[in-house]
Amino acid sequence: MKETNLSMLEHFEKLRAALGVNPPLVIGEKASKYLDENGYKNSRAGYEKSTDTVYIRDPKRYISLAHEMRHSWQKKHQGKIKIALKEDSNNLKGFKGVFNDMFIYPFTLKELDANWYAIKYGWINVGKWRTVKYIFQTALMRTMYFFITVSLIIYFSREHLLFIFDTFLVELNRMNLHNFFSDPSWQSIGVLFGGVLVFVGAWFGTRLANNAKSKSDLEEQRKTFEAYLELLTTELYNNKKILEDMMRYLYKNPPILNAFDAVLVGANHLSYKTWEQIIASKVTHLLEPKQLLGFNIVNQNIKKLITATSMEVADWRRAYEFHKYYKVNPSKEAMQLIDLQHILDQKTSLLKKEIEKVLEHTQSVCKLIEKSCQDT
C-alpha cells in the first residue's frame, strides 16, 4: 500500500489548516524529556492542555500527531461539543495509574474521538498499512489487555473461587468442583490462553525490536547531524572571513574598470552547500528553533548577496564602458555619464549595506553555535 512522503512539519501544517488550531509542536529529544518527566513514559506522544502544546517523540509518528492535534481542537471547541476535556490523570501512580491507563482513559469520549479522527486522517494522508498498525496498537491491543488481565485474575484466583463455591454451595462436593476444574476442557482453555500469551509475547518482542530500531535510527540521525554541524560551522566562519575581506576591498576605490573585481571574487567563494545538504538529509528537527531560523536567514541572504554583487559589478562595467564610449563619440541625444566617482560611490554604499547585513546574521549564528557547544 502506497504511503505519502510528507514530513512531520508538512503534516503539521496540513492538520493545522484542517482543524483550525495552531498549537506549539515539540519533537524529538525535548518531547521525550517532557513526556518522561510528566507521567507519559509509555506514550508515543502527548498533549498538554494547560499550554495547548503537542509533544511527539518520533518525527515519523504522523497519525499520533493527528490524534494529539485533535485534542487541541477539542480544547478550542470544548464549550460547543459534548466531550468533557478534563485534565489527564497520567500522574496517577501504582495500581490506580495502571488501571486508568488500561481500562478507563482509552475509552473516554475525548480519546475515542481523537483516535477516530487520527484513523480517518491516517487512512487518507499517511498510508493504509500504517493506519492499520495504529488501530492494532491502540484499540485491539488495549481490548486484548483487558480480556487477558481478567482471564489471568480468574485463573490465579481459582482456589479462592473454589472456597467461595464450597461455602455458598454446600450441596456440591468440593472434590467434585476440583475435578470439574481439572476437566480436559479447562486444560484446553489453558492451552488457548497459553497461545494468546505466546502471541502477546511475540508482539511485545517485535515492539521492543522496533523501538530499538527507532532509537538506532535517531542515534544515526544525531551522528549525521553532528558531522554536518561541524562542516557548517567551518563554512560559516570561512564566509565570515570572506565577508570581512569584501568590506575591506570596498575602501576608497578609484573609478577604474576593475574596482569591484576583488569583491566579486569574494562573493563567488561564499558557500552554502552544507546547509542544503542538511536539509536534504532531513535532520533539521534536531536543531533549536532559533538555530533553524538563523541558518535559513543566512542561507537566503548569502544567495541574495552573490546575485546582487554579480549584477552591481556588471552594471558598473557597463557604466564605465558607456562613459568611455561617449567620451570618444560625443552625442547630444545620448545621456552623458560624467561623474563616474559618484556612480562608484553609490554602488559601494549599496554593496556595503548588503555585506554588513549578511555579516551581522552570520556572526549571530556563529554565537548560537558557540553557545550550543558550551551547553553540551
262 with 349, same domain?
Answer: yes
Residue labelled with grid coordinates 499520533: 64
102 with 165, same domain?
Answer: no
| CB atoms near residue 15 (< 10 Å) | 26
Residue 144 is assigned to a structural domain of this protein = no
364 with 240, same domain?
Answer: yes
224 with 362, same domain?
Answer: yes
Residue 92 is assigned to a structural domain of this protein = yes
224 with 213, same domain?
Answer: no
The letter for the amino acid at 112 is L
247 with 343, same domain?
Answer: yes
- Mean pLDDT in residue range 110-135: 84
269 with 346, same domain?
Answer: yes
Q: How far is residue 367 CA from its own chain's centroid?
A: 24
Residue 106 is assigned to a structural domain of this protein = yes
318 with 271, same domain?
Answer: yes
13 with 104, same domain?
Answer: yes
Q: Compare 303 and 135 and report the one with higher pLDDT.
A: 303
What CATH number corresponds to the domain at position 275?
1.20.120
Domain span at residue 155?
150-217
**pLDDT tens, position by position, 26-63:** 888 888 888 888 877 777 788 888 888 898 888 888 88
Residue 33 is assigned to a structural domain of this protein = yes
Q: How far is residue 322 CA from its own chain's centroid?
A: 55
Whole-model pTM above 0.95?
A: no
Decide: helix, strand or coil at residue 254.
coil
Distance set, CA 179 to CA 172, 175, 186, 225, 326 (Å)? 12, 6, 10, 66, 120
Domain C-terminal end among 87, 112, 127: 127
Residue 139 is assigned to a structural domain of this protein = no
| CB 291 within 8 Å of CB 368 | yes
Residue 137 is assigned to a structural domain of this protein = no
Domain C-terminal end among 217, 240, 266: 217
**pLDDT tens, position by position, 240-281:** 999 999 999 998 888 898 999 999 999 999 988 888 888 777
Is the per-residue pLDDT at 231 higher than 90? no
Residues 6+ apart with CB under 8 A from 130: 3, 62, 63, 122
**pLDDT tens, position by position, 184-226:** 555 566 656 666 676 666 666 666 656 655 666 667 777 777 7
174 with 213, same domain?
Answer: yes
Position 326 scores a pLDDT of: 78
256 with 192, same domain?
Answer: no
**pLDDT tens, position by position, 1-16:** 344 567 777 888 888 8
Position 287 scores a pLDDT of: 76
Residue 145 is assigned to a structural domain of this protein = no
Rounded-to-integer distance, Cα 63 and Cα 134, Å: 8
H helix runs in 141-258, sequence order: 141-156, 158-168, 174-181, 184-249
Domain C-terminal end among 182, 199, 217: 217
23 with 110, same domain?
Answer: yes
- Mean pLDDT in residue range 170-186: 53
Residues paired with residue 54 on neighbouring β-strands, in sequence order: 25, 47
Residue 222 is assigned to a structural domain of this protein = yes
In percent, the amount of the chain with pLDDT more than 90 equals: 14
- Mean pLDDT in residue range 290-310: 88
Q: How many domains does the chain have?
A: 3
Q: Compare 314 and 95 and report the one with higher pLDDT.
A: 314
